[in-house]
Structure 1
Amino acid sequence: MLNRRWWDLAAVAVSAVVVTFGLVFPPYGPRDWGTWAVVAGFLLVYAGYLRWRIGSEDPRHHVAITAILVALVFAGTAFDSGAATLQAFAYPFLWITAPSTKRAIIGNVLLGIAVAAGYAVGLGPTGVLAGLGVGALSLAFSLALGLWITRIAEVGEERARLLAELQAAQGQLAAMHRETGVTEERARLAREIHDTIAQSLTGLVMLAQRAERRLDAPSPDVPAARGDLGLIEEMAREALTEARGLVAAVSPIALDTSLADALGRLAAGFERETGVAVALDVRAPGLDRELEVVLLRASQEGLANVRKHARAAHAALSVDAADGMARLVVRDDGVGPGPDDPPGFGLAGLRDRVALAGGRVTFGPAPGGGAELRVELPVEASDRVPSEGSSA
């Protein structure tokens, strides 16, 4: 509607129609010359003023535009009723330059009156009825079309506003989800550190104090102190293992190629750090990236459990996708979980993550000994998985 080239074409077209009406009925007289003068004036005013008001909704300019178009349509129609064709340009032009619907309606009514008055002046008493009919019909059509288009524009603007608000709300919700995830992860890490490393360090401090008292006694108990030092070393090694497992569970692994490559790097690093051989089998191509992130995190948690609890020599990690499900299995040949062992915080956090993706987690003794972690995720639900970007 605001493309000036289309309005240029419209102005030239209505002018050509009015001039053609006069040319087909010779001989030409003063009325014809007057009509053509009005058309020339219309084109000059359009090129010099009206064209540059397209897209503007200045109330002062709209008053001038209304006055100019009303005067031109009246003058043209007074010379020749065929010049009423100019209203085909004038009505929509008043709508697009009006600062409000009320002003557009007022301009349209004045233009309809100008058409009726032009007929009455040009044709005399016999043109009154014709002028009223043409003016009323064109005015009604213009008002109906203009109000309809205005309503469509208002609905479009309202939808755009609602869409912007929805996108803003979605952005805020995503930020809240990220903040909630960060808070929950921090709380989980705090509990892990408190229940493992912090308790080990507390025990180390107490053992060191006891060994110091035994050595400072009037008769030092060196064998008992040596036993305390042995316990200190053992507990320090356990705390170091816990710390390494915690770091491995939360450290990022780039998922910039494929899930198989990322799991291969994870397994290789685990073997270097622990000496536990990992058999890897990945047969799940074409999974959604967010789903791959969840599987990679689950693999990290599974191997972290092997590191911390299993005392295993071998582990196996497999991923496959079939029948609309992606399955991850982590097994080891270690001691396996006891019937009364409570689930760790890492496993609880993994269950929450997988549940958000519509999947489930099972953990227990593996057939033949050791432990087995199994994760099942519906492939079609991967679009509900909270994204972590391109790294996990």
Structure 2
Amino acid sequence: MTTARWWDVAFGGALAVMAITVTLYPADGSLGGALATLAALGLAYLGFGRRGIRLAGTGRTASSLAFLATVVLGCGVGAAFTPNLSTLQAIGFPVVWVLAGSYLRAVLVSGILAVSVGLGLTVSLGGTVAAMAEAGGIEAISFIFALALGTWMTRIICASDRHRRLLDELTRTQGELNALHRAAGSSAERERLAREIHDTIAQTLTGLVMLAQRTRGELTTTPARVMAAQTSIDLIETNAREALTETRALVATLSPVREPGMGLADTILRLADRFTQETGIQTDATVQVGDIDREVEVVLLRCVQEGLANVRQHSGAEAASVFIERVGAAVVLTVSDDGRGLGVPRVDPNTGFGLAGMRDRVLLVHGELELGTRPTGGTLLRVTVPLPAPLALAAPAAPLSRIKADA
């Protein structure tokens, strides 16, 4: 309702129609005064009325007040020159409702406008009591109609403002939610990367450290140990190359679950073989599952890596085993050793992420993790991961892959 172009057409069109009407049907001696009144209203609109309408809703301004007074007075004066100009109130009432600034003020000014036009109409009709009664009846109807129209306009404008505020609030809330989601996503991604780095590069580098320590001891003994030292150095080079490959894979997005052309069973067996070579701990690995979901493979592989890393660092074991089998609609991983067992829990600030990260990883696939001591001594780690529905319903395939690596 406050678009300047709309008001240009409405107000200018109303003045033009009134000018044509009074020209075609002039009252005695009233044509000049009527046209002068219409011209004054047009100049007032161009001078300050248009600006006042454009600023409507930002508070009462001098332009708004001046144009309201001009419209109220101009409609009354025009009606006094000729009854035809009483029709100007058809555009006068909308102006009042737009510029008044509040519902009560709009009702009050509309009443003043009706009185002004009624007085002018009484004068143009002869100034008699009958003319006053006729003008009063006309203006009463006009006021009631203006009140109904203004109330309807006010409700539409209020509803539009309310919808605009709700839309602004919704947009602002969506922006806040997007920011929170981005922050949560960044946090989750940092945690995921921390787990990946720990389960890949950190484990490999830990092995390199232990191999370097062993090599240092071998080189300080008799020359007969030179060949053994050479083997250890070859292992260090191999592991360093694998660490570089894993780093590049992480930078790309995610380290590979397994090497191209190798299944989960082959990958687990290779890990066990390398673990035996690095640590001298006799390691058995048995995998009795067929094709399973890639996400489940990731969890199992990382848990094997972390379980063997704990055996390496904390168990003091001579033998360890890795066993993966399908039990109903789940896959069960068991990593055990014959070492000293859990003993007193220790927190290592450099390596303490492993168990918590493994537990988080298992929970992400709705699995369970158990850590305890074997009845015969040593530590037992058991991870149970449910299979996705299609795989859980499929007939279990149980190919057997087994390796026994000797120290």
The two structures have a TM-score, normalised by structure 2, of 0.60
1:228 aligns with 2:220: no
Structure 1 counterpart of 2:118, one-letter code: A
Matched residue, 1:111: 113
Structural mapping, 1:78-227, within 5 Å: 78-122=80-124, 123-124=126-127, 125-217=129-221, 221-227=225-231
Matched residue, 2:324: 338
In structure 1, how many angstroms separate the alpha carbons of the residues matched to 2:396 and 2:253?
22
Matched residue, 2:53: 54
Q: Confirm or deny: 8 A CA contact 1:74 1:114 kept in the other structure.
A: yes
Range with bigger deviation, 68-77 or 242-251: 242-251
Matched residue, 2:65: 63
In structure 2, how many angstroms separate the alpha carbons of the residues matched to 1:228 and 1:170?
58
Number of residue equivalences? 304
Matched residue, 2:261: 276
CA separation of 1:218 and 1:3: change in aligned 2, threshold 3 A:
closer
Structure 2 counterpart of 1:213, one-letter code: G
Structure 1 counterpart of 2:324, one-letter code: G
Matched residue, 2:11: 11
Higher radius of gyration, 1 or 2: 2
Q: Confirm or deny: 8 A CA contact 1:214 1:222 kept in the other structure.
A: yes
1:150-195 Cα shifts (integer Å, max 9, x gaps): 2212221221222222222222222322222222222122123223
State the shift of 1:139 in Å. 1.9
Q: Confirm or deny: 8 A CA contact 1:95 1:104 kept in the other structure.
A: yes
In structure 2, how many angstroms separate the alpha carbons of the residues matched to 1:189 and 1:306?
25
- SS of 1:250's partner is coil
Q: Confirm or deny: 8 A CA contact 2:122 2:132 kept in the other structure.
A: yes
Structure 1 counterpart of 2:92, one-letter code: A
State the shift of 1:84 in Å. 0.6
In structure 2, how many angstroms separate the alpha carbons of the residues matched to 1:242 and 1:82?
92
Q: Confirm or deny: 8 A CA contact 1:22 1:32 kept in the other structure.
A: yes
1:4-61 Cα shifts (integer Å, max 9, x gaps): 44434433443454445545557x5224443333233333433444344331234322
1:102-131 Cα shifts (integer Å, max 9, x gaps): 443332221111022223333322122222
Instruction: Could you tell me which runs of 5 or more consecutive residues in structure 1 were left unpaired when the two chains were aligned.
Output: 252-269, 278-302, 312-316, 318-326, 332-336, 353-359, 372-392
- SS of 2:333's partner is coil
- SS of 1:62's partner is helix
Percent identity over the alignment?
36
Q: Confirm or deny: 8 A CA contact 1:120 1:128 kept in the other structure.
A: yes
Structural mapping, 1:354-365, within 5 Å: none
In structure 2, how many angstroms separate the alpha carbons of the residues matched to 1:238 and 1:16?
89
- SS of 1:338's partner is strand
- SS of 1:30's partner is coil
